[in-house]
Structure 1
């Protein structure tokens, strides 16, 4: 949802709130989502100190239930986008009890200090009260799947550390031993700074890490602050908890300066090893990805998706863009992402409540991932999953699939086709109104798909504007089979024991439409609304 949608979703009796609430859920239905991420704002939850609005949380959960969805609750507490905007007025007014981060010249920022026990304790009390309400109201029904602890934490102000008394004391203290050990083994900026400053065994943050020390000191304070809040919350209700990250764009862009281009102290790429060290009670540390460069998006998946280290990839915010719609197939198929959210989903609708054309690519992707959900979940039965995504200007790609070779075409059947051509009357010979060419800009929707290998010859496919051709492996004697010389002959020569469209019900595949004849002799094609394509290939005469 948009940031302030949590207010109307958690309120009753106000016509405008009810209209806004309905608009939020209408947008989710239009885009094909199954989970809603709703902010729980500290100022609404605890408007007066110690007075928690239980009905606010109950109403949020009730609204999610009545629309048949699951929910993620986002705790907007000490931090929201590197600021303190959602803290209650009584916290903002009492600057002595709830100290702010100070700049070097003594200027107070609009950020609560992560070095203050008073700040932490007040936030933790409210968070624990929230967890008690969720547990008591929802533990049996499990409407709420996860809770986000804070939002894009850090200092988004003209300083990289707190120059207040507590912050200065922390900066001048010796770096904890576990941080030094992390620096020894980490890859990237943290390790490089430690090496550059003499591989010291002991010293304060400046002595150990030089100019990078201030950012790491702030990150250590914030990570510990959030992990303590998560630990207390898990003691009450042990649900999936994570925090999200206003990224540093993988440290590849701009000035790469904390405090100016991203909140200092957040779990950005260069600080991530330290956060992993500090946050033993979080289940994931998650990137908010708004990049328009597909390679930058995929690089972020690799940085934050460390399943082998116990850190799954989960994208809690991303853009409503064609690039994102395609890249999420890489996240799910290649990086085993456990969830993918698009931010500000109400913006997918026009004033009349219709899905905007610009939002269709994400809707297409959500439709396909929903259709394939049973295959993606543990126990889905796939021996391997291949993700393929078209780049701008790309007409095809190539996969090794078991004992077969697979050509994935994004540009029709043969050389005389310049773009996507479906082959059944449900879609028409040509996609109406679409140019017959490969996409040439990042604003255009590109093809993508997931191929699930269930056995040597059996497969499931979900995809959009893709067409698959299979051959055996290349002969070892240097020859080329005659049937490969012509694309049409190759397509016609594929033998199917089964080719059908369908869907899953309680784990079982149900056939909706059988393909044969013209629908089967031009490759195995898929469009987003085909459901799941199931096919079994015949074994060639050259293979036993």
Structure 2
């Protein structure tokens, strides 16, 4: 029986206002972990880490499948190592997202097979001009020649065909096509062929896309091309066949747009062939720029302020719209978030109508706290810290976060289906002698304004994280640690708002069924002022009163109430109702 003969294939489904990944016909939250680059080259090595990964709370492992490993000789494909890896992952109850390291990985072509690396005539490289004016071949395949594209497309199609025929358990649930594409060291390829294409007319399809969508493109993007903006309103200049610089002006951003268009077309042809072979979710990822940084320090994974310091032509935030338009076979495009404004990056990649997923991010506690915002406020399919297989299980910062998220994931996914109000957030440590620049987060639910801040302590406030789900207009599920919530009715005629009931909850089964562990009041809620979700360790400072209640389950349900001016209320069975007296 082949994978396509089974009832369900992994797919993406639009539900409510968000996307869900469906696995075995059921929604799945990806609690991911990405392996080091070389780990999946050896099934024997992977046998030593599968159980550790599962012990970290991971349910989905991201790992590379490389072109050089599966096609060491042209036309000779070897899948035995991959087959064993898939079988072993399935045996340990884990799913896989495979990362195709084909023509490109981190701005270079280090994973192409030897028969590609050694034949520069058949598989030309990009070229950059050195300080002495001489052209230099780079370790990156040219995107303006078809030979390597066709070879990569054949290999990727063969891989997808093989997975379709052999992965009956559907252990592989998605595929990343290439890895952090773009050119490092310069803003564009300046070899003879590239120069000829650059001086020729800009493709009509790109010009039309920009003209039709200009007003909806990021301002940072449109501000980079004043020449094009002026030409849009100049009827005498419109419609003329012009070179890239005549259209967009002379700048590194024109170079970057040139590279982005051609990279996107290259990746699309490979993705389209793979999707035709086996229709599971496909995506690619982005190395993100970071203003104020340079790669001169030897950094090879993130950052860079201008094209070439970061991979020029990759699907960065400013070029995301262009990439999405010219890669229709990709289901989404993902950011690798190691630095920068996490919230802003989530906004950009989740706010463009596509599914949102973070395939790489920091693996420390700083990174773990942030996934609560991605999942809670931005509807992320999930996230994956990088390099998890070189951590000890007990040292994995994500372990406790994943265990808590896993326990309530049925409730979270159901709330998404119902388009319920959900928000996620985090608070970092406050440096000594520093001001808390994130004192309150204000969120608007259906009937209440939620003011979210750090959990109450007499001493030094700690970090925090969590999400809130609106169960009903007056009931909320709180999940996480290190925060408190104050509720205020949004009605202009409300005179009193407060907490009616505050219960600590615990999950009793895999469906997310909750039962009450404790009824909380008094010091635990400041006598009804707020719902406090404490840290694992609460500090009392110099206070002589030991109000330092540590976290337990990290789950609570709150029922709130509001009294409208002139409308007396009574409480029946724990629910506020208008009095009929």
State the match for 1:247 in structure 2.
288
Which structure 1 segments of 5+ residues have no match? 12-17, 419-435, 440-445, 485-489
State the match for 2:500 in structure 1.
495
State the Cα distance separating 1:397 from its structure 2 match.
Answer: 4.2
- Within 2, Cα distance between the matches of 1:40 and 1:27? 21
State the match for 1:231 in structure 2.
272
- Within 1, Cα distance between the matches of 2:524 and 2:97? 42
**TM-score normalised per structure 1:** 0.81
- Within 2, Cα distance between the matches of 1:346 and 1:243? 22
2:225 is aligned, of 177, 184, 194, to 194
Query: Are the structure 2 counterparts of residues 275 and 473 from structure 1 closer, same or farther at C-alpha, using a change threshold of 3 Å?
Result: closer
State the match for 1:215 in structure 2.
256
Find out whether 1:366 has 2:415 as its counterpart: no
Find out whether 1:135 has 2:135 as its counterpart: no
| Aligned partner of residue 337 in structure 1, secondary structure | coil
- Within 1, Cα distance between the matches of 2:347 and 2:210? 20
- Within 1, Cα distance between the matches of 2:84 and 2:500? 56
State the Cα distance separating 1:473 from its structure 2 match.
Answer: 5.4
- Within 1, Cα distance between the matches of 2:450 and 2:255? 51
State the Cα distance separating 1:390 from its structure 2 match.
Answer: 2.4
| Aligned partner of residue 274 in structure 1, secondary structure | helix
Q: Is the 8 A contact 1:367 1:529 kept in 2?
A: no
Aligned length: 479
Q: Is the 8 A contact 2:503 2:517 kept in 1?
A: no
| Aligned partner of residue 202 in structure 2, secondary structure | coil
1:48 is aligned, of 63, 70, 73, to 73
- Within 1, Cα distance between the matches of 2:195 and 2:336? 30
Query: Are the structure 2 counterparts of residues 75 and 137 from structure 1 closer, same or farther at C-alpha, using a change threshold of 3 Å?
Result: same
Query: Are the structure 2 counterparts of residues 240 and 192 from structure 1 closer, same or farther at C-alpha, using a change threshold of 3 Å?
Result: same
Query: Are the structure 2 counterparts of residues 162 and 539 from structure 1 closer, same or farther at C-alpha, using a change threshold of 3 Å?
Result: closer
1:457 is aligned, of 454, 468, 474, to 474
State the Cα distance separating 1:363 from its structure 2 match.
Answer: 2.7
State the match for 2:310 in structure 1.
262
- Within 2, Cα distance between the matches of 1:222 and 1:472? 51
State the Cα distance separating 1:396 from its structure 2 match.
Answer: 4.7
Q: Is the 8 A contact 1:46 1:53 kept in 2?
A: yes
State the Cα distance separating 1:469 from its structure 2 match.
Answer: 4.1
| Paired residues for 1:152-191 under 5 Å | 152-156=180-184, 158-184=185-211, 185=214, 186-191=217-222
Q: Is the 8 A contact 1:503 1:531 kept in 2?
A: no
State the match for 1:511 in structure 2.
515
- Cα RMSD between the aligned structures? 2.7
Q: Is the 8 A contact 1:382 1:453 kept in 2?
A: no
- Cα distance per residue 1:79-131 (max 9 Å; x no partner): 01011111111111111111111223231111011111001001011100100
| Paired residues for 1:327-342 under 5 Å | 327-342=370-385
Query: Are the structure 2 counterparts of residues 239 and 504 from structure 1 closer, same or farther at C-alpha, using a change threshold of 3 Å?
Result: farther
State the match for 2:173 in structure 1.
145
Query: Are the structure 2 counterparts of residues 271 and 508 from structure 1 closer, same or farther at C-alpha, using a change threshold of 3 Å?
Result: closer
- Within 1, Cα distance between the matches of 2:448 and 2:186? 57
State the Cα distance separating 1:468 from its structure 2 match.
Answer: 3.2
Q: Is the 8 A contact 1:396 1:411 kept in 2?
A: no
Higher mean alpha-carbon deviation, 165-174 vs 399-408, is at: 399-408
1:36 is aligned, of 35, 45, 61, to 61
| Paired residues for 1:389-404 under 5 Å | 389-390=426-427, 392=430, 393=436, 394=438, 396-404=440-448
State the Cα distance separating 1:380 from its structure 2 match.
Answer: 5.0
Find out whether 1:76 has 2:80 as its counterpart: no
- Within 1, Cα distance between the matches of 2:75 and 2:514? 54
Structure richer in strand, relative to its length: 2
- Cα distance per residue 1:442-498 (max 9 Å; x no partner): xxxx21211111112222221112233445558759x7x6xx9xxxxx7xxx322x7
- Within 2, Cα distance between the matches of 1:152 and 1:167? 21
| Aligned partner of residue 224 in structure 1, secondary structure | helix
Higher mean alpha-carbon deviation, 268-277 vs 73-82, is at: 268-277
- Within 2, Cα distance between the matches of 1:345 and 1:448? 21
| Paired residues for 1:15-26 under 5 Å | 18=44, 20-26=45-51
- Within 1, Cα distance between the matches of 2:319 and 2:562? 52
- Cα distance per residue 1:34-54 (max 9 Å; x no partner): 100010011111111111112
- Within 1, Cα distance between the matches of 2:554 and 2:366? 22
- Within 2, Cα distance between the matches of 1:404 and 1:107? 62
- Within 2, Cα distance between the matches of 1:404 and 1:192? 39
Query: Are the structure 2 counterparts of residues 169 and 465 from structure 1 closer, same or farther at C-alpha, using a change threshold of 3 Å?
Result: same
- Within 2, Cα distance between the matches of 1:21 and 1:257? 38
Query: Are the structure 2 counterparts of residues 203 and 59 from structure 1 closer, same or farther at C-alpha, using a change threshold of 3 Å?
Result: same
**TM-score normalised per structure 2:** 0.76
Find out whether 1:86 has 2:111 as its counterpart: yes
Which structure 2 segments of 5+ residues have no match? 1-34, 232-236, 295-303, 431-435, 536-550, 570-576
- Within 1, Cα distance between the matches of 2:201 and 2:258? 10
State the Cα distance separating 1:257 from its structure 2 match.
Answer: 2.1
1:383 is aligned, of 420, 424, 445, to 420
1:102 is aligned, of 110, 123, 127, to 127
State the Cα distance separating 1:509 from its structure 2 match.
Answer: 1.4
Query: Are the structure 2 counterparts of residues 48 and 461 from structure 1 closer, same or farther at C-alpha, using a change threshold of 3 Å?
Result: same
- Within 1, Cα distance between the matches of 2:268 and 2:484? 47
- Within 2, Cα distance between the matches of 1:262 and 1:504? 47
| Aligned partner of residue 263 in structure 1, secondary structure | coil
State the Cα distance separating 1:155 from its structure 2 match.
Answer: 1.4
State the match for 1:298 in structure 2.
343
- Within 1, Cα distance between the matches of 2:552 and 2:139? 48
- Within 1, Cα distance between the matches of 2:443 and 2:333? 32
Find out whether 1:321 has 2:350 as its counterpart: no
| Aligned partner of residue 218 in structure 1, secondary structure | helix
State the Cα distance separating 1:206 from its structure 2 match.
Answer: 1.6
